[in-house]
Structure 1
Amino acid sequence: MTITTTIGILNLMHDKLDTQKRFQEVLKFADPQVQIEFLYPVDHYLDRPVPELVAKISQPLAVNQVYRYDAFIITGAPLEQIDFEEVTYYDEIIALLEQLKTKRIPTLFVCWGAMVAMHHFYEIDKYPLANKLFGAYSHQITQPTALLKGLQSGFMAPHARYAEMDSDQIVATKDLVVNAVASNHRNFLLTSREFPFTFLFSHLEYGQRALLKEYQREVQATKSSPGLIARPVNYYMQLGEPVYHWQTVSQRFFENWLTQVKGEITI
């Protein structure tokens, strides 16, 4: 029997349209039949109109309706440098997290999404990095998981963040399994022993030019000299295009995650 999987994605990224295209591409490659609904946090627009583009490409989050989804994704967000509680829609996120936990919905938390979930569920602290973690890095598998099936230590994956979660607190948290870390000891993949939760600190949804576009956007936003903005490392050009180190890794990971999600679905 073919199982049609419906996934809700709370899109918190600044580049809304690009983010949707990226997740659609990686998820549809893994399963062409997957159904995806993109959502936005209602509380983020309480004092202003919802932007036309946001309203056109996504739906308002209805926390009490998340049971309709077979799985859920909370994306990253450009919020690592501010306290969780200062985020305008923090209470809405917490209500969502509690629903995902209560309904035991398989959830993939990406980058800031992983940070806020680990902070809420386990009281793990976030701290600023001296320099932005930015580029493609090599990784080591520390605890095998079906999510990394087909991959071996040394695989490349992209990171783009200004903060990290406290590793000592992570190790002391019995429910968390550290499945893989970057070669510089930064977080990559953690899973919960009790709940169908996956914490991914890499932007594996990023395509070939995503890191380049992020770099160009930050230069433009700050009006800085390109030399003052962190350049993505291990991300060199070949024949006029950035080298797409992690394409196979991304495909394998999302295939494995969807396979795991389908295993959670009861018919």
Structure 2
Amino acid sequence: MKNKTCLRIGILNIMHDKAATIRRIRRVLSQDYPVELTFFYPQTHYTGRQVPAEVAAMMAPLDLSRVKDMDAFLITGAPLEHLAFEDVTYYQEVVDLMEFLATHQIEQFYLCWGAMVASHYFYGSQKHDLSEKVFGVYPQKILRSSPLLTGLADGFLAPHARYAEMDGQAIVAGGAQEIARSQTGHLFLFTHPAKHRTFLFAHLEYGRNALKEEYQREWQAKVAQRTLLARPQHYYLDETNQAQPDFSWEETQRIFFQNWLDLVARRKEEKV
């Protein structure tokens, strides 16, 4: 590791479970490279109200003057699938960030809702609600080779958790490449190497208990609709009592994020 350059990576953390998201991102991006991670929150999300103390303690307000020195930048997911993009309070701030990243050719990683909003903005891809939440661990079909999937075999497992889907054809028409798709037919991975963009529609950063915790949060928040809640599929070691989750995508997670860090490091070397 001492011979590897430090990678400076910014993260716009817009997940609801911000502390848990920080822990997950730190874990998956702290592998074989020294990394300097800076977590940001969108300032316009707190317009007219005080920034919560716990948010201010964990993250910094998004500042593009700090972003310009990053080697890469990641925009997380967010539980906003049912909202039109333009109705999100901090949408314009996200757009300004994406434009800045594109203009400065910073390596970009768009994750789940981050991938949705980025594919909508850059390629005009439209979002549509799913008839039911895609929620669980599913095998993925590799459609074309990519450095991001080096070391992974067709059928590798990954967790999905979302209520909406994007138009993949529009993304491809915009110049991106579809790399892999869930065997259930849901979007998984697109890249646009010339534009330095990675779009991951699944939650590959999730740890063992994340799907279980997501279900529990929704159970508590939607008391009147409990019978309608989706349960994570193909996730528990024993489906009869659903007590012990199976971290079946652990190796996939390690390999994928290592490959992405390798990509960021190569791009940084090319710039020198």
TM-score bracket, shorter-length normalisation: over 0.9
Using the TM superposition, give the Cα deviation of residue 37 of structure 1 relative to its aligned residue in structure 2, in angstroms. Answer: 0.6
Identity level (%): 46
Matches of residues 31-46 of structure 1 in structure 2 within 5 Å? 31=33, 33-46=34-47
Matching residue within 233, 240, 245 for 1:242: 245
* Map 1:226-237 → 2, pairs under 5 A: 226-237=226-237
Q: What pairs with 1:2-17 in structure 2 (closer than 5 Å)?
A: 2-17=4-19
> Cα distance, 1:138 vs. partner?
0.6
Aligned 8 A contact 2:134 2:160 in 1: yes
Q: Deviations over 1:29-67 (max 9, x none)?
A: 343x11101100000001111011100000000124311
Question: Corresponding residue for 2:31?
Answer: 29
Q: Which residue of 1 aligns with 2:191?
A: 191
Cα shift at 1:168: 3.0
Q: How far apart in 2 are the matches of 1:178 and 1:67?
A: 28
Q: Structure 1: state its 5+ residue gaps.
A: none
Relative to structure 2, which stretch is displaced further, 143-152 or 188-197?
Answer: 188-197
Tell me the residue number matched to 1:120: 121
* 3-state secondary structure, aligned to 2:184: coil
Structure 1, 79-88 or 159-168: larger mean CA deviation: 159-168
> How many Å apart are 1:68 and its aligned residue?
1.2
Question: Partner residue of 2:112?
Answer: 111
- Alpha-carbon distance in structure 2 between the residues aligned to 1:201 and 1:80: 12
Question: Runs of 4 or more off by more than 4 Å in structure 1?
Answer: none
CA distance in structure 2 between the partners assigned to 1:52 and 1:18 by the alignment: 16
TM-score, length-scaled by structure 2: 0.94
Confirm or deny: 8 A CA contact 1:64 1:99 kept in the other structure: no
1:140 corresponds to which residue?
141
The answer for unaligned runs of 5 or more in structure 2 is: none
**Offset of residue 226 of structure 1:** 4.4
Contact 1:147 1:253 in 2 (8 A): yes
Contact residue 12 and residue 62 of structure 2 kept, 8 A: yes
TM-fit CA distance, 1:184:
1.2
Report the TM-score when normalising by structure 1. Answer: 0.96
What code does the residue aligned with 2:87 have? E
Change beyond 3 A, Cα 1:185–1:72: same
3-state SS of 2:132 partner: strand
Report whether the alignment pairs 1:210 with 2:210. Answer: yes
Identify which range, 181-190 or 58-67, moves more after superposition. Answer: 58-67
Aligned-partner SS, 2:204: coil
Q: Contact between 2:236 and 2:243, CA under 8 Å: does it hold in 1?
A: no
Partner of 1:261: 264
Check 1:225–1:237 CA distance in 2 against 1; reply closer, same or farther (3 A cut): farther
| Pairwise CA distance, 1:194 | 2.0
Aligned residues: 265
Output the CA distance in 2 between the equivalents of 1:232 and 1:190.
24
Q: Deviations over 1:131-165 (max 9, x none)?
A: 01111011010011000000011100001111100
Counterparts in 2 of 1:62-141, with a 5 A limit?
A: 62-141=63-142
Distance 1:250 1:260 in 2: 15
- The alpha-carbon deviation at position 167 of structure 1 amounts to 2.7
